[in-house]
A and B are shown apart, each in its own frame.
Chain A
Amino acid sequence: MGFRWAFEEKTLEPALKKEIPSEKPKLELVPLNRGSFEAAPLLKRCLAAFVDYSVIGLGVYLFFFFSGLFFAAASLPLRQVFGAQSGSIVSAAFIMFSGFMAWVFLHGYFIYFEFTQGRTPGKKIFGLRVSARGEGLPSFRQCLIREASRYLDGLGFLGLYLASRSKSHQRLGDQWAHTWVTHSAGEENQDEFFYLIEDDYQTLKRMLHPRLPEEAFTQEFLKFSHTRWILKTTPERLDEVYQWKEKIFPFVNASQAERLEEESLVRFFAEFCRRSFGQWEREAA
């Protein structure tokens, strides 16, 4: 099942549709994958859960470490005043307090992130979102239901079994709270695209049929684009962009490249070189 999500980010597709003259053959545009969501694959959900529980585990470990130090320090003067028996009272208090705080942290983590952002850090990495159909973010009540049912879902991997049987991969908590965990490839890869967003990159790649230049050219070109658009350590000189545009032309479909603004073309080619050259380098290694 798939449904669309509203994004602020604009993509190139509407602009291309508008700009294509009717007498020219229409470009084959790739479907938007940034805005389209599908039911989250179970493997990704499990990996996201693993990352989330690792973060929680680390937080609980650090909390136990520091609260342990505090209680140990506090027990010393108490032992001197009330005798050795007060040590066991402090230990019991430490275990109860820390256990309660760990429980609060475990559930608070999921409720806070899912209610405020629709996704936990683990889900963010794998491009997953918890959504309430038609309303976007889940409500606080829905987050609570999801969280409360975690115990039942965890019993003998019941949640995993139910999710694998369900078409929309809903575990028991999802079914009760009427929420869906969805996946977007575009969201998952968004930080891996530096110079333009993935949809535009894929569209332009089909349009321009780029070829990778030789190594020295690619290295020099990437140094230019990296310092100009990513690090922003070189001044913005338009003549340099024009020069690079001329050099790039032999490596792309020139007639289609003419339709693009100079900077857009150079930025696209930088992303292409970064991705393709990296892949070439890895294969060569």
Chain B
Amino acid sequence: MNSGEKISVPLPQGQWKPAGMGVRLLATFIDGFIISVLSYPLTLMLQWSGGVNFQASATEPESVLFAQMVSITIWTAAVFFYYGYFYSQKGSSPGKMIFRLQVMKSETGLRLSWARAFIRESIGKTLSTMTLLFGYILGLLRQDRKTLHDFLVKSQVLQKVKN
């Protein structure tokens, strides 16, 4: 059978390009909002059970500190499960899916593991913010739009655009 008779598989519609910082920011807002809504019932349950007083006043510094630590723990657990599940199973989070974004390993295009997803979203993004937003500004300056948290876990965010 010569080459002319061979079957050719059509390419999928659209092509991939580095995702812009604007859509990534919007996607982060949406994901943050969803995580807040999802973790709110747990916060309410803890408040009602009397275990944690989230409305403690400044005159009770120990209660305030404890409530803050519980809040951070809830948020961290929510981030771990939310991003861990979506990045490893779907390659994207609901906020990112809306804009057809995919988070992948920059060299091979493989999906991120739970651990990488968690490091990217917790430690990575905290670092990007703590450096006076330099981590995010880096994404604006580079053509491949890689931010500090992308470099930390060797990831890249791509967007599928129509041809």
A interface list, Cβ under 8 A from B? 8-12, 15-16, 19, 50-51, 54-55, 57-58, 61, 121-122, 124-125, 190-197, 200, 204, 219, 222-223, 225-226, 230-232, 258-261, 263-264, 267-268, 274, 277-278, 281-282, 285
Contacts and interface: CB of A to CB of B under 8 A. Distances in A.
A16 B11 CA distance: 15
20 contacts: A9-B13, A12-B9, A50-B37, A54-B33, A121-B98, A191-B100, A192-B90, A194-B109, A195-B12, A196-B12, A222-B107, A222-B108, A261-B3, A261-B8, A264-B9, A267-B11, A274-B108, A274-B109, A274-B110, A278-B111
Contacts of A258: 1
Given A12-B9, A282-B113, A223 B108 contact: yes
Given A54-B30, A274-B109, A277-B110, A191 B97 contact: yes
Interface residues of B, number: 37
Given A10-B10, A264-B7, A285-B114, A226 B109 contact: yes
Q: Which 4 A-B pairs have the closest CB atoms?
A: A264-B9, A222-B108, A226-B109, A121-B98
Contacts of B3: 261
A15 B90 CA distance: 30
B5 interface: yes
Contacts, number: 113
Contacts of B92: 191
A125 B11 contact: no
Interface centre among B1, B100, B109 (most CB of A within 10 A): B109
Given A54-B30, A259-B1, A196 B109 contact: no
Contact of B109 (A54, A121, A190, A230): A230
B94 to A, nearest CB: 5
Interface in B82-129: 88, 90-92, 94, 97-98, 100, 102, 107-111, 113-115
A222 to B, nearest CB: 4
A232 B111 CA distance: 19
Contacts of A277: 110
B10 A9 contact: yes
A123 B60 CA distance: 46
A261 B9 contact: yes
A268 B92 CA distance: 22
A194 B7 contact: no
B12 A190 contact: yes
A15 B98 contact: no
B81 interface: no
A250 to B, nearest CB: 20
Contact of A282 (B6, B8, B88): B88
Contacts of A194: 12, 16, 109
Contacts of A51: 30, 34, 94, 98
A12 B113 contact: no
B150 to A, nearest CB: 14
Contact of A19 (B5, B33, B100): B5
Given A54-B37, A58-B33, A194-B16, 19 more contacts: A12-B7, A16-B7, A54-B33, A54-B34, A57-B33, A58-B29, A61-B33, A125-B97, A191-B97, A196-B9, A196-B10, A222-B107, A223-B108, A225-B109, A226-B109, A258-B1, A264-B6, A264-B7, A267-B9
B52 interface: no
A278 B9 contact: no
Interface string B145-163: 0000000000000101000
A258 B3 CA distance: 9
Contact of B9 (A121, A225, A230, A268): A268
B107 A223 contact: yes
